């Protein structure tokens, strides 16, 4: 049984490294993402309604919908939780309390290892697959899910667009460089079906990745990546994104020097859970949109 | 001795602060009801599939863009946009799962296209079709008023939707 959805949304943080890291990407999609937290607050924000009795009615329905396992919301939450693997969080809470002080990760350098390109590429593509799977769990859209996802991707906004921006920047540009899409595709094409099992996140979510067997699953991942890379490419070129621009923006709150840039990707990976954070926000929004329309 | 006393005081402080009452969430009851074993499902097994609803939505016209956003059992929803701006949400739901949603139409004096209609809150207008399906339009921008909502409800194929009811 999952924890209550209202508790999960109430517990989203208003600050900390994840929130600061996401805010640093505001320059790419100005104003698109506000860190809306709190269950009732999210209901007010999404619906524009203010009457407490009505808010309560919407909230009640949203809680019921979330708890009905057949509706897929709990599985979507599990996917977002799993892909961010919060166990690796590197004392994020402790670091986050240093208000007004830049975060330095120099003290943790010995605990971090930059991921090899291959592992990072697999990570990026698995996060993408999780986005597709969670999208379908939350919004439905059966049939040709991938095509519908692409149409919906073009309409991504708010926290969903921010999640994609962060995926491109923190899991693509920073650890893999400007040609991250090519590198990633190259890696995927060179993989043998069994190689996926090396990736801990894949091992955790493998049972829900379509494809039937490892080779079919690798096929699904390649197909999905191919389908989405055009959109990502356009996002990068349309916003003239470079690793340097992202790093410059991150420098407003993380202390960096030229010598430890290699570790920045590893640090972000270990200290943030942006996929979970914005994933819960997306899940809550969709749940509330449905609840208010159904009551 | 002093050390013992400190430890004792600390232990008590911890005990007291950890027992400090936190106000229970208003959702606790519904959480319990809906998460216990054999809880009734939020969506009835008899609900019409959301995919059945899509064809009754208003067509795209005059620069209005209609993007389907959700399609679940008993529910379908589309976003209405113009010039890239989100104006409203359009939704059809099956009240077989939510009898109280259908009940609110019983005292309605309002009608839209011949169906009982209600205004909910400040952003919503709804009709009940064939005593079963709720069609709702929800404003997402202040420029989209109650009369816009009424006009867009009329653009649904309500008569077609009525045929869907068993």
Gap between the Cα atoms of A192 and A201, Å rounded: 17
Comparing A259-268, B17-26, B122-131, the range with the smallest average pLDDT is B17-26
A59 to chain B, any CB pair closer than 8 A? The answer is yes
Say if A48 is an interface residue toward chain B (CB within 8 Å). yes
Collect all residues from B whose CB is shorter than 8 A from any CB in A: 25-27, 30-31, 34-35, 39, 41-43, 50-51, 67-73, 75, 77, 79, 86, 89, 91, 93, 97-98, 100-101, 120-124, 134, 136, 138-140
Contacting residues of A for B34, CB less than 8 Å apart = 63-64, 67-68
Query: Does A52 contact B at CB distance below 8 Å?
Result: no
Residue B1 has pLDDT above 80, yes or no: no
Count of other CB atoms within 10 angstroms of residue A197: 11
Close Cβ partners of A253 (under 8 Å, ≥ 6 residues apart): A20, A24, A102, A103
Q: Give the Cα separation of A97 and B138 in Å (integer).
A: 40
Cite the beta strand spans of B9-123 per DSSP E: 64-72, 75-82, 85-94, 110-112, 115-120
Q: Between B15 and A18, whose confidence is greater? A: A18
Contact B71 A142 (CB under 8 A): yes
B18: which residues sit within 8 A by CB, 6+ positions away?
A: none
Do B34 and A63 make contact, defined as CB atoms within 8 angstroms?
yes
What is the Cα–Cα distance from B36 to B42, expressed in whole angstroms?
13
Q: What's residue A97's pLDDT?
A: 46
Q: Edge-to-edge strands of the sheet including B124-129?
A: B64-72, B75-82, B85-94, B133-139, B124-129, B115-120, B110-112
CA dihedral B126, B132, B133, B139 (to 10 degrees): 20
Q: Nearest-CA neighbor of B100 among A294, A286, A40, A71?
A: A294
| pLDDT tens digit sequence for A83-116 | 886 445 454 444 544 445 676 766 666 667 777 8
**Chain B closest CA to A135's CA: distance in Å?**
10
Q: Is A278 within 8 Å of A53 (Cβ atoms)? A: no
Q: Does A152 touch chain B (CB under 8 A)?
A: yes
- Bridge partners, residue B124, by sequence: B120, B138
Q: Kindly indicate the confidence band of residue A1, based on its pLDDT and cuts at 50, 70 and 90.
A: low
Give the burial class of A227: count Cβ atoms within 10 A of its Cβ; 0-12 exposed, 13-18 middle, 19 or more buried. middle
Structure-block tokens of residue B124: 């919503």
- The rounded mean pLDDT for chain B is 89
Give the minimum alpha-carbon distance from A3 to chain B in angstroms, rounded to a whole number: 10
CA A67 – CA A69 distance, rounded (Å): 6
Out of A98-102, A110-114, A178-182, B118-122, pick the least confident: A98-102
Q: If 0-12 CB within 10 Å is exposed, 13-18 middle and 19+ buried, where does residue A28 land?
A: buried
The answer to whether B153 and B113 are in contact (CB under 8 A) is: yes
Segment A233-287, tens digit of pLDDT:
999 999 999 999 999 999 888 877 777 777 888 888 888 899 999 999 999 999 9
The DSSP 8-state label assigned to residue B104 in this structure reads T
pLDDT band for position A142 (cuts 50, 70, 90): very low
Q: What is the ipTM of this complex?
A: 0.88
User: Which value, to the nearest 10 degrees, does the dihedral of the CA atoms of residues A180, A110, A202, A149 take?
Assistant: -40
Distance from CA of B3 to the nearest CA of A (A): 29
Across the interface, whether the CB atoms of A142 and B51 are under 8 A apart is answered yes
Which one of A7, A47, A286 has the shortest CB-CB distance to B123?
A47
Chain B hits for A10, CB-CB cut-off 8 Å, are: 25
Q: What is the pLDDT of residue B14?
A: 54
Task: Give the residue with greater pLDDT, A87 vs A27.
Answer: A27
């Amino acid at each position: 049984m999952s924890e209550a959805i209202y508790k999960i949304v109430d517990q989203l943080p208003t600050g900390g490294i994840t929130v600061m890291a996401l805010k640093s990407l505001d320059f790419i999609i100005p104003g698109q993402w506000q860190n809306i937290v709190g269950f009732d607050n999210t209901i007010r924000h999404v619906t524009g309604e203010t009457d407490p009795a009505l808010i309560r009615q919407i909230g009640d329905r949203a809680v019921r919908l979330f708890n009905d396992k057949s509706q897929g919301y709990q599985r979507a939450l599990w996917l977002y939780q799993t892909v961010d693997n919060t166990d690796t969080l590197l004392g994020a809470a402790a670091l986050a309390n240093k208000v007004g002080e830049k975060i330095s990760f120099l003290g943790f350098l010995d605990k971090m290892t930059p991921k090899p390109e291959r592992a990072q590429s697999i990570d990026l593509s698995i996060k993408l697959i999780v986005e597709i799977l969670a999208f379908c769990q939350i919004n439905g859209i059966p049939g040709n899910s991938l095509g519908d996802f692409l149409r919906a991707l073009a309409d991504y906004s708010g926290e969903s667009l921010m999640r994609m921006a962060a995926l491109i920047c923190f899991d693509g540009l920073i650890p893999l460089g400007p040609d991250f899409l090519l590198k990633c595709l190259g890696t995927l094409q060179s993989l043998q079906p069994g190689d996926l099992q090396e990736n801990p996140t894949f091992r955790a979510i493998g049972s829900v990745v379509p494809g039937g067997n490892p080779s079919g699953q690798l096929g699904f991942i390649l197909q999905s990546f191919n389908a989405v890379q055009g959109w990502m490419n356009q996002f990068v070129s349309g916003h003239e994104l470079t690793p340097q621009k992202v790093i410059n923006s991150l420098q407003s709150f993380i202390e960096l020097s030229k010598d430890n840039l290699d570790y920045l990707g590893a640090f972000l990976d270990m200290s943030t859970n942006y996929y979970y954070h914005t994933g819960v926000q997306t899940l809550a929004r969709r749940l509330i949109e449905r609840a208010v329309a159904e009551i | 001795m002093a050390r013992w006393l400190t430890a004792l005081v600390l232990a008590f402080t911890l005990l007291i602060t950890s027992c400090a009452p936190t106000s229970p969430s208003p959702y606790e009851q519904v959480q319990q009801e809906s998460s216990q074993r054999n809880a009734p499902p939020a969506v009835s097994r008899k609900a019409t599939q959301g995919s059945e609803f899509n064809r009754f939505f208003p067509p795209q016209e005059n620069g209005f863009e209609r993007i389907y956003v959700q399609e679940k059992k008993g529910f379908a929803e589309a976003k209405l946009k113009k010039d890239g701006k989100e104006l409203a949400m359009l939704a059809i739901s099956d009240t077989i799962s939510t009898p109280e949603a259908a009940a609110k139409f019983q005292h309605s004096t309002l009608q839209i296209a011949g169906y009982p209609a209600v205004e909910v809150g400040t952003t919503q207008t709804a009709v009940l079709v064939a005593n079963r399906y709720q069609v709702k339009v929800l404003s997402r921008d202040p420029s989209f008023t109650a009369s816009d909502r009424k006009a867009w409800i009329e653009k649904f194929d309500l008569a077609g939707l009525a045929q869907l009811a068993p």
